[in-house]
């Protein structure tokens, strides 16, 4: 029995050594580098959400900290789940007239899981931009409904127009590192939400502007530095 086990182990080590000793090709090296870079970019974008949470909580009042932190946690968790079931298909599925994807729901078919994870954290980032704008203005439940629309429909459709080779792609439009697809889409959603909600309660009294200082300026500043450090290297894989 021991002899058989030893033989199996020896064969396993031999096959593993043979695989490692295989001559690498240009294509295999290129694929490995791409996979590694996308994985690093995914981790950086994911950690950017810590920076967003610090900025939002630091520059708002202490009583709203829990609400803001929950918004950031739920954005990346629930948003990623919805992007898995529908958003990714709308963004990178077979195009219907260059407007929206129609295949690959729940990663059906031959899909790149690593690329999906990278895009999922981007979808959550787009929604998180809105989170900062509506801080102290919107209830958690209402914000989550908005997040579902952003990560499951609005952001994927806009992304399909370019990254999904839709109608903007056909016109020669080139997005640089998500500057329009992620940031402009998130900013447009933030402006629309703020215009609909109006100012924070207590911001204005009889036409007079009242200061509403944040409860932890150092925490907010730390969040800014985290975003500043991670933003550019994290977005480069999207170029």
Confidence of residue 6 (pLDDT cuts 50, 70, 90): low
pLDDT in tens, 148-200: 999 999 999 999 999 999 999 999 998 888 889 999 999 999 999 999 999 88
- For range 198-223, the mean pLDDT: 90
Gap between the Cα atoms of 73 and 107, Å rounded: 23
Q: Considering the domain boundaries, does residue 24 fall inside one?
A: no
User: Which one, of 226, 52, 41, lies nearest residue 128 by Cα?
Assistant: 52
Beta strands (DSSP E) in the chain are: 95-96, 100-101, 204-205, 208-209
Q: Considering the domain boundaries, does residue 8 fall inside one?
A: no
Q: Considering the domain boundaries, does residue 56 fall inside one?
A: yes
Q: Considering the domain boundaries, does residue 83 fall inside one?
A: yes
22-26, 72-76, 138-142, 190-194: which range is least confident on average?
22-26
Q: Considering the domain boundaries, does residue 226 fall inside one?
A: yes
pLDDT in tens, 110-161: 888 889 999 999 999 999 999 999 999 999 999 999 999 999 999 999 999 9
Tokens standing for residue 53? 């949470």
pTM over 0.85: no
Confidence of residue 60 (pLDDT cuts 50, 70, 90): very high
Gap between the Cα atoms of 51 and 59, Å rounded: 12
Give the Cβ contact number of residue 195 at 10 Å: 8
When the pLDDT of each residue in the chain is averaged and rounded to a whole number, the result is 86
Q: Which domain holds residue 147?
A: 31-201+215-238
Gap between the Cα atoms of 30 and 207, Å rounded: 61
CA atoms within 13 A on the CB side of 98: 8
Question: How many domains in the chain?
Answer: 1
3-class SS shares of the chain: helix, strand, coil, % to 5: 75, 5, 25
Tokens standing for residue 189? 């959603």
Gap between the Cα atoms of 66 and 77, Å rounded: 16
User: Which one, of 136, 134, 160, lies nearest residue 145 by Cα?
Assistant: 134
Tokens standing for residue 23? 């001559």
Gap between the Cα atoms of 133 and 138, Å rounded: 10
First vs last C-alpha separation in the chain: 56
Tell me which of 94 and 111 has the higher pLDDT: 94
Beta strands (DSSP E) in 70-228 are: 95-96, 100-101, 204-205, 208-209
Residue 56, domain CATH: 1.10.3430.10
Q: Considering the domain boundaries, does residue 14 fall inside one?
A: no
Q: Are 197 and 8 in contact (CB under 8 A)?
A: no
Gap between the Cα atoms of 123 and 33, Å rounded: 24
Q: Which residue has the tokens 């077979």?
A: 94
Evaluated on CA atoms 80, 145, 103, 45, the torsion sign reads negative
Q: Considering the domain boundaries, does residue 82 fall inside one?
A: yes
């Amino acid at each position: 029995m021991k002899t058989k086990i030893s033989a199996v182990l020896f064969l396993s080590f031999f096959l593993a050594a043979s695989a490692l000793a295989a001559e690498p090709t240009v294509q295999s090296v290129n694929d490995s580098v791409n996979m590694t870079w996308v994985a690093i970019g995914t981790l950086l974008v994911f950690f950017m959400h810590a920076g967003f949470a610090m900025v939002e909580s630091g520059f708002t009042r202490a009583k709203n900290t829990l609400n803001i932190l929950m918004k950031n946690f739920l954005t990346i968790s629930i948003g990623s789940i919805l992007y898995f079931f529908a958003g990714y298909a709308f963004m990178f599925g077979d195009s219907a007239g260059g407007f929206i994807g129609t295949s690959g729901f729940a990663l059906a078919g031959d899909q790149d899981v690593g690329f999906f994870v990278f895009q999922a954290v981007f979808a959550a980032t787009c929604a998180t931009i809105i989170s900062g704008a509506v801080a102290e203005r919107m209830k958690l439940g209402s914000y989550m409904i908005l997040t579902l629309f952003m990560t499951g429909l609005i952001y994927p459709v806009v992304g399909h127009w370019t990254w999904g080779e839709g109608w903007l792609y056909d016109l020669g439009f080139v997005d640089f590192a998500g500057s329009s697809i992620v940031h402009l889409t998130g900013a447009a959603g933030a402006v629309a939400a703020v215009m609909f909600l109006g100012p924070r309660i207590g911001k204005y009294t009889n036409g007079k502007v009242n200061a509403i200082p944040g409860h932890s300026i150092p925490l907010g500043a730390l969040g800014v530095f985290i975003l500043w450090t991670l933003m550019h290297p994290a977005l480069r894989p999207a170029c």
